[in-house]
Amino acid sequence: MPGPLKLRNPFAIECGVYKTSYEQDMAIHPTPLARLRLLAMLGAFTVFPLLADPYYVSVANLIAIASIGAIGLNILTGFTGQISIGHGAFLGVGAYAAGYLTSQLGWSFWLALPVAGAITALVGALFGLPSLRLKGLYLAMATLAAQVIIEFAMYHWTAVTGGSRGLLLSSPRLGGFQFDSEIRYYYLLLAFTVAAFVFAQNLTRTRIGRAFMAIRDRDLAAEVMGIELFRFKILAFALSSFYAGVTGALWGHYLTVVSPEHFTITTSIEYLAMIIIGGLGNVTGSVFGAAFMTLIPIVLRESAKALTGVLPNIETVVNALREFTFGATIILFLIFEPEGLAKIWKNMKDYFRLWPFTY
């Protein structure tokens, strides 16, 4: 029969399969309700900064920046299966490239951003060359070496990077409009995050995305089928590094200072944790993971302040507790929910989609 049945319970989303064309089957939103849900979320994001405290808007900005980076890492590690412990360094390359172009050479932010992304993509492709010969653990070691070497360059190539002092930047401007407040930067970041998300989500549905996933699952079989491994692996590194470069540039201009201590191996590990906690290979998972990891230190700090009455010395150990919580969370998620927050979200959606059935 043409079209879906009209259901009496609006929250029971699907009840049977009534698709009659390929377009309906491959649609991103299987029902009108799903599309409505997405529009409602986008509306909420757009209206949020006008109603909330600037502090919460700044937290949202940090989450947005982390999301773009996490999506980039997910393209490399989640879609293509190439483990990378060098993401922090690539963020740094993007930040320093954009910073140098805007502060020392006087370029406009809007030109410096894609150029910084391209430079980072080239660096990423270069450090991705070992993926031709190495897999799994050995590739992770090579990316770790990339992290350490790039960090060394950040500290010692003082002509470009200013050494441990770093670079001072100014916030981007569009004509006479300066993006120097939290709310203005929020809208800038919202645009970039939505673009990054849509691009990555669409990537899964194209030939290139399917090639990536074939490489992840069984690369020998993929090669037999005619997928040129080297080309696609380098493409994955380049694409992921482009995302990292854009993230670094946005972050640098948000903080208006670029210094090497933001781009250490701890940063790389934080991003790996984001995609693992969020769900490997899942674009919404990256955003969840980024939000989770950004909120942990804030929640810890606030609860430490709240508990100061009960445990007087807790503020002094909050920093150490943060590292402990971070590590313990990773381990707990790996043991109890290896597919991450995306799986939990999917379970919640499925509950409503399949109600009153259980599967």
Considering beta carbons, is residue 12 or 321 the nearer one to another protein? 321
Binding to another protein by CB under 8 A, coded x per residue (else -) over 313-352, reads: ----x-xxxxxxxxxxxxx--xx--x--------------
Question: CB 176 → another protein: shortest distance, Å?
Answer: 42
Looking only at residues 203 through 232 of this chain, which bind another protein when binding is defined by CB under 8 A? 220-221
Q: Of 122, 133, 128, 132, which is closest to residue 143 (Cα–Cα)?
A: 128
The reply to whether 159 sits near another protein by the rule CB under 8 A is: no
Considering beta carbons, is residue 261 or 350 the nearer one to another protein? 261
Q: What is residue 308's DSSP assignment?
A: T
Question: CB 156 → another protein: shortest distance, Å?
Answer: 5
The reply to whether 259 sits near another protein by the rule CB under 8 A is: no
Q: Of 200, 208, 232, which is closest to residue 131 (Cα–Cα)?
A: 232
From the number of C-beta atoms within 10 Å of its C-beta (0-12, 13-18, 19+), residue 210 rates as: middle
Cα distances (Å, whole numbers) of residue 152 to 67, 147, 240, 259, 261 = 26, 9, 22, 13, 11
Q: Which residue type is seen at 318?
A: V
Binding to another protein by CB under 8 A, coded x per residue (else -) over 104-143, reads: --------------------------x--xx-xxx-xxx-
The reply to whether 160 sits near another protein by the rule CB under 8 A is: no
Q: Of 105, 234, 59, 255, which is closest to residue 171 (Cα–Cα)?
A: 255
The reply to whether 80 sits near another protein by the rule CB under 8 A is: no
**119 within 8 A of 183, measured Cβ to Cβ:** no
Maximum C-alpha span of the chain: 70
Which chain residues interact with another protein by CB under 8 A? Answer: 77, 83, 130, 133-134, 136-138, 140-142, 144-146, 148-149, 152, 155-156, 158, 220-221, 265, 269, 272-273, 276, 280, 317, 319-331, 334-335, 338
